Structure 1
């Protein structure tokens, strides 16, 4: 039965091998859950490309055909994107739950996603193969006494899980975005309004960053309390982390400004934005509707954002834990909201 199923998928993939396909169609051919497929794309195991003229992101049929034609390739891919909670993660490393949590808090293990349970505690998820690699690379941390430096940091209340998740999330998004203002917007999502204003004084440019920001977290808080927990996770809170994002944002905005200065809607190139009011700038290229939510908080702000409009113009472990930012349309509106985040539920798997 398994052989027949494999042969059937291979035949279907050969039919699609000469063309591109949607992520949903590709996941169906591979027999993967959509969340598994989307995480494979974000982790770089699968390729994707934007359609012409700003259309949805598509998947080359050739790579899907190669996977279906290779025995065991799909199973290997599924294992590459398998995620586990702290209990299963501890068993995978061969350590107790307490030691696993200490390793994660010290920054040795980087979460890939999270959800908030009914007790408003954050439950982190980790890529299983990364934990196995860590066990092979750092066996000395899995037994014996905790190194003095790590012990001192943990004694001071150090917890790097949220910061490591933010850093990973930013890098995953930057990996797949080329447009300079969108890349700058990704970095800006980790900064609060005050830090953003200090890094980017120009109101036109700040609005440009807001309307082009991706959804940073797909967690859907079910209560205001859970929303507050998630909101704290989205923003850098350590001074050193804030400084790093501010520095990167300044550099990214400089690059974006050189390629395409931010303009108010309808503002001719070279015109001072002060005369155009506070309606917000939009750079040349793709646009969003003016009513799209920006960096707002609250339990209900995690919903999908408005679609782009108009033609081109001149994520158990408990810890601190709001709503995501604006979502992109098309494939990334789908992909960015499906990196395996879960609704509130059990603390572990």
Structure 2
């Protein structure tokens, strides 16, 4: 115990809190929050309760990188619908169709005073999508995208959930905390079906990660967010139940939940649902009669991102796009 305390004290002395790290990295609070979520800025567990901090080595790694802090802030550049459409050289209406169809996943959102969800996207994601799929930006909407929109008129919330769950899963090494990630998007009824043991459900609830935060006084926004973080479509719910049951198997093998005396690995569980069909994102196939030419884009915005360099060995959380997971 004494050795662990000394080690923990040593780690804490080599780390700095989030607010100080943000100042040293010349990032605004929301930029820093996004950097942590994306894995651009890596955190370590330090202090009681697993409190997360930033290692001094991580800060120095960024500060010594070429182009700091401009390159780091460019990788964290987020845009809304209007600026995203301008960046890609398409109309806002076409941009909205691509986003609703799950062609790229939102990275964050906010709820405005009219209780409308306003989505934001990583500018680098839009650049990469446009470079890979120029034919999706001109001509008629591809048939596969039209079919996807008919089945799921708006996949933005689903795409964001998938991406956020990937981020949270990548941020933890504890098996019970990993199991709590898919559990966080299942309503109480679905969770009870997947996890019959009330002790295990209580433990998962205690470990439940926060997918999105709202100001305490923003009651209306909180209600919208509470709805948005829950899985909606049956196939999405089945996928997250599948992930939860698989994660529970690993967690039970590691240790029982506190207060549960069921022998490890023998806790009752429903039959694992069949893995839902994975719906790939619409492939970039030219529509007959459509000329796959790249439309003109604002040179300054485009060059700013296309000229960026990714630092070697950067450990960024995997992106989740709609159709891959769930």
Report the TM range for the smaller structure's normalisation: 0.7 to 0.9
Name the Cα RMSD after superposition: 2.2
Partner of 2:7: none
Q: Which one of the candidate residues 21, 31, 36 is aligned to 1:36?
A: 31
Partner of 2:291: none
Moved over 3 A (4+): 52-55, 220-228, 267-271
Q: What CA distance in whole angstroms lies between the structure 1 residues aligned with 2:154 and 2:262?
A: 47
SS of 1:219's equivalent in the other structure is coil
Q: Which one of the candidate residues 210, 213, 220 is aligned to 2:208?
A: 213
Show structure 2 runs of 5+ residues with no match: 1-12, 265-326
Partner of 1:144: 139
SS of 1:191's equivalent in the other structure is coil
Indicate yes or no: 2:60 matched with 1:65. Answer: yes
Q: Which one of the candidate residues 95, 98, 104 is aligned to 2:99?
A: 104
Q: What CA distance in whole angstroms lies between the structure 2 residues aligned with 1:48 and 1:235?
A: 27
SS of 1:145's equivalent in the other structure is coil
Q: What CA distance in whole angstroms lies between the structure 1 residues aligned with 2:120 and 2:164?
A: 13
Contact 2:78 2:122 (8 Å CA) reproduced? yes
Contact 1:263 1:269 (8 Å CA) reproduced? no
Indicate yes or no: 2:189 matched with 1:189. Answer: no
Q: Which one of the candidate residues 163, 168, 171 is aligned to 2:166?
A: 171
Structure 1 stretch 204-213 or stretch 155-164: which is displaced more?
A: 155-164
Structure-1-length-normalised TM-score: 0.67
User: How far has the Cα of 1:54 moved from its partner?
Assistant: 4.2
Deviations, residues 218-261 of structure 1 (Å, cap 9, x unaligned): 13486655443322211111010000000110111111111111
Q: What CA distance in whole angstroms lies between the structure 2 residues aligned with 1:71 and 1:159?
A: 39
User: How far has the Cα of 1:29 moved from its partner?
Assistant: 1.2
Structure 1 stretch 172-181 or stretch 156-165: which is displaced more?
A: 156-165
Q: What CA distance in whole angstroms lies between the structure 2 residues aligned with 1:176 and 1:157?
A: 30
Q: What CA distance in whole angstroms lies between the structure 2 residues aligned with 1:233 and 1:137?
A: 30
Q: What CA distance in whole angstroms lies between the structure 1 residues aligned with 2:216 and 2:156?
A: 19
Partner of 2:75: 80
Show structure 1 runs of 5+ residues with no match: 1-17, 272-349
Deviations, residues 283-336 of structure 1 (Å, cap 9, x unaligned): xxxxxxxxxxxxxxxxxxxxxxxxxxxxxxxxxxxxxxxxxxxxxxxxxxxxxx
Distance 1:138 1:258, change over 3 A: same
Deviations, residues 24-81 of structure 1 (Å, cap 9, x unaligned): 2221112111221232122122222112554422222123223323441221011111
Q: What CA distance in whole angstroms lies between the structure 1 residues aligned with 2:103 and 2:261?
A: 50
Q: What CA distance in whole angstroms lies between the structure 2 residues aligned with 1:95 and 1:206?
A: 47
Partner of 1:46: 41
User: How far has the Cα of 1:108 moved from its partner?
Assistant: 0.3
Contact 2:256 2:263 (8 Å CA) reproduced? no
Contact 2:62 2:68 (8 Å CA) reproduced? yes
Contact 1:116 1:221 (8 Å CA) reproduced? no
Structure 1 stretch 80-89 or stretch 63-72: which is displaced more?
A: 63-72
Partner of 1:320: none
Distance 1:52 1:231, change over 3 A: closer
